[in-house]
A and B are shown apart, each in its own frame.
Chain A
Amino acid sequence: MPTDNDDHIDRRTVLKYAGTAGAVGLAGCSGNGGDGGDGEDGMDGGDGEDGMDGEDGEDGGDAFELGVTMGQMDSGLDPQDHAETNTEIIVGQAYEGLLDRDKEGGIIAGLADDWERTDDGSVRFTLRDGVTFHNGDDLTAEDVRFSIRRIVFEDVGIASPQSNDLGVVDEVTAGDGEVTVSFEGYNPIAFQLFATNGEIVQQSWVEENGGDYINRNANGTGPFRVTEYNSGTEVLYEPNEDYWDGAPAVNELRMSASSESSTRVNQLLAEETDIVTNVPPNEVSRVNNSDVASINSVPSARIIFLQMRYDVEPFSSQQFRQALNHAVDVESIIENVLNGFGNITAQPTLEGHVGYNPDIEPYPYDPDEAERLVEESGHAGVEITLETPIGRYLRDVDIAQAAANQIDSLSNVSCEVEQREFSSLVQDVTAPDIEDRPHFNLLGWGNGEFDGSQTLTPLLSSSGALTVLENEELDGLLTDAEATEDPDERVGILQEANQLAHDLAPWVFMHQQFSVYGVSSDISWVPRSDEFIDPDTATQQ
């Protein structure tokens, strides 16, 4: 049992009952005030892009405590041995990568303050001076080399589930204050990949400690240090006073989880926590009507769609696939099922991501046109089943049921829903052979790289890990995009690919999911579109 449990005895409760000076001592005082976050530095652009201006520096307020409650805790603190968002949020407070992203998804400097592409297509990062790990040691180029190699090469410690996340890395070389990464072939999105992935660990610390220790302790360079780790329950942090960008304003951070969404909302309304994730639409008004908190939502980098396999009837018919796009009233689903928390989509790439084509309009809701196209496809009278995961995406089952009802209401198609446990559906969706994959299913896809290719290639290219389509023209465009060194030209190719994907209609294009947070009125915090939570940017109201 941790002896410093006193820190998280609920202050309100203790004060309420005990009401003595002693109780205040027991609960632990807030202690010395943090300096408040300094403004971010202006960032130099790399990769031939224009230099990005840094955000204006904000004055930090007084020190304060902040609680974040998510649906699920981390799966261990090793920043390179996981592949899911909750763990990323928890380890990402303590660890950082070479590059980072701003709230809108733009690339900004991280541990590297300059980055460029060399003549041979490799990428070179110049490390920021004066960065130290939480144990006080300096960050070195060797640490960076080791970290990247630990992710991509299986023989460096672990088989990391992130091994594909940095592209096909050939070698990493460490120089004096700089690190060069070379790839097998040209990697046009190297910087996008490094801005989302590739957290840096200290080589000696990792080599000296076993996996069990690394998963329970942290030694990164990030804005917060882990002070207490209770597996599956909560993680406590203190600000890293030596942080290169200035210590955050938050004086004590607590991250915890409640799997029940109603419990999370109740915690927020009882003022036991400050930020809660995934507030269900039916709880939104309860939060907004309270005096103590409100809803803060942001379009996320996750797209929801109904995918149809190109090689099985009736989905092999492009007309039939287009018919289903006309049959589903996405606007009404967003309005009625999601309480407005969604943006309608018309292509696999989301607005704001590289390769988004602004000229593509969503398929209009038109049941008559849908029926006509079904007749034309020669599949009138067909019976189809939509498989949906249960509880994986915001109101997934309700969305699937609404869409299936609308399809079913066509005079010449009947459609029913089959609810699947997510893990079991994933097993089928990722089956090595396309013949083993579901014919028609709901799926969501998060694109943390903000680049169209990171959705198009895995989901719609012939060799994609989860593909439902095989189309030479689309494959050709994606191959061209991969080899194109001119960023503008590449955007043009991806836009063309998106137009083609819209016309081929391998998906019923649904919506962009929103991240819906409940936020205490005591703080001011703007959520990010990549689902990461950054309490170091929160300030006291």
Chain B
Amino acid sequence: MSDTNRQIDSAMSHENRPGRKPPFIHVAPSPHISDSRASTQRMMVDVIIGLSPAIVVSLYLFRFYALKQILVCVAVCLAAEYLFVRMRGKFFTLKDCSAIVTGIILGLSMPGSAPWFVGALASVVGIGIGKIIFGGVGMNIFNPAMVGRAFVMIAFAQLMGAGAYENVTGLVDAVSGATPLSALKFNGVHTGIAPLFMGVTNGSVGEVSAIACIIGGLYLIYRKTASWQIPASILITVALIAAITDIAGGYQGVFLLHHLFAGALMFGAFFIATDPVTSPLTAKGKMIFGVGTGCLIMVIRLFSGYPEGVMFAVLIMNAMTPLINRWTIPQPMGQREA
């Protein structure tokens, strides 16, 4: 090493030499440069930026209820991440912002009326069982936010189910009452397409406005943080199945648009299903994933006791992801001729 230093010293220009230490040269494998714009943290910040229109709409519509859900979920997610990562004795991952993203998504997927401990418990379960048990960020099989939400959905069926959205005292008047999908399913009542699109209806705090989700989602696709294949294939699949039902039932297009804009479809398609960790790697795999999710959403919406199917559809397709990855190993260039 000293030999090398001497050489490098002598290789330094004469102008630079007096009193200066030789440069510190190090060696590493190629490539020696990387895209400094891309980092895990930057991806997560992108998601937060993408979610911001939905957050703004939720704060406008549900005021304190939305703020409470989001803050509780984010705070508990961060605390849970810190605690569980510490228990595993790993380096801390709070810096990568993934826990904040999980918290925001979880908060936005809660009904405004749900008590604070529901969101808190969902956060603990989501981070603990949904993520850290598998090894932390990048290793989880299921979308952590959806794991947490599924848990409280079952554990607190009364507080989370269709009943949570109806006749809640104190909730902003315009948006209390049945959610559009329950209204359709149980009472056969259609909500107008324009309110659904703009989001002045009832529902989980972050998913009511289709337009906010579309704007944020397009930003994510533009930043290449989310792939376009997943939302596109989900939306097209849902639209196709809804269209068939529409034609069969004679709804003249209302049913199709209702299914596209109501419930968590837009939110799920752009922000939940596109979670890179739990979706397939290749473009082809992503399309299969999207079509599968879309089909499952419509099966649950049309045939099950639940009016909404995004959460379960995503979780089931998460389980399919390793299999899809194995089905869709791409053929390298030149393989066919060999």
A, B assembled together? no
